[in-house]
Chains A and B, each alone.
Chain A
């Protein structure tokens, strides 16, 4: 794994992976959204509002999955002090926060016609809101002036402490009596019809690849900014 953590090697891989993830992700997303909107049937209970699921579920998956990646990258940064891990964590945070916000708003838009309300202080909804605050806390801490160390110590610790929220999100619908429905897709099978699974999986794959493309582009930008800083410093020293 350390082999790929070398910034020069990472950049070589990222230059190939960025357009691949971007274009395949866009193609899957456009196909998924089109089928979700126009070619899939309405649900027998939820009616047309089931179409919101095709954007809500992938956003929720990336909000939680993104936070897990953020925490893993932060752990690597704290333990091995690898600069690429800190850069990865800082690249994941804004994308994860955006997908969590999309999940919350699209969930509210689904909740109003289905439950009769945009918001309830339900365990699943509240733990997702806490996840958004954790992302925002990480972004604020990692951008602060006192956090200029390679491993962004306080921000990384916050990311690790926040992991406790992930099982709470996952099991909230089983541990508490919530308004939010339980899991529809399990390892043993799916309660969702095949016509609805197709756009859902297309959007899941597409959004995940676009998330990867965003993270790769942010990492490349941060690495280039670091090179600019280092070269400007050397230039100033040479001219002094």
Chain B
């Protein structure tokens, strides 16, 4: 009963897809916002009067 094949498509894959998707989205958002902010900060530092 608990080993039927639709378990994978209906529950296991969606749980893993949600987790991996959420993790990748969080990591990408954090990385891109950090790179953008640090680039802006460096640019302003170079153009200091």
Interface positions of A (Cβ within 8 A of B): 22, 29, 33, 37, 42, 45-49, 51-52, 55-56, 59, 94-95, 98, 101-102, 105-106, 109-110, 112-114, 207, 210, 213-214, 217-218, 220-222, 224-225, 227-228, 231-232, 235, 238-239
Is A109 touching B1 in the complex (CB atoms < 8 A)? no
Give the number of chain B interface residues (Cβ < 8 Å). Answer: 32
8 Å CB contact of B16 from A55, A207, A210 = A55
Is A217 touching B31 in the complex (CB atoms < 8 A)? yes
**Which residue on chain A has the smallest CB distance to residue B20?**
A33
The answer to whether A235 and B44 touch (CB under 8 A), given A48-B2, A49-B2, A225-B37, is: yes
Decide if the interface of chain A is mainly helix, strand, loop or mixed. helix
**Which residue on chain B has the smallest CB distance to residue A14?**
B34
Is A52 touching B15 in the complex (CB atoms < 8 A)? yes
A-B contact pairs, 29 of them (CB 8 A): A29-B23, A37-B12, A47-B3, A48-B2, A48-B8, A48-B12, A49-B7, A51-B12, A52-B15, A55-B16, A98-B22, A101-B22, A105-B18, A106-B15, A106-B18, A109-B14, A113-B2, A114-B2, A218-B30, A220-B34, A221-B37, A224-B38, A225-B40, A225-B41, A227-B45, A228-B37, A228-B40, A232-B44, A235-B48
Is A217 touching B11 in the complex (CB atoms < 8 A)? no
Question: Which residues from B are CB-within-8-Å of A51?
Answer: 12, 16
Question: Which residues from B are CB-within-8-Å of A45?
Answer: 2
Question: Which residues from B are CB-within-8-Å of A114?
Answer: 2
CA distance A228 to B38 in the complex (A): 9
Question: Which residues from A are CB-within-8-Å of B18?
Answer: 102, 105-106, 109
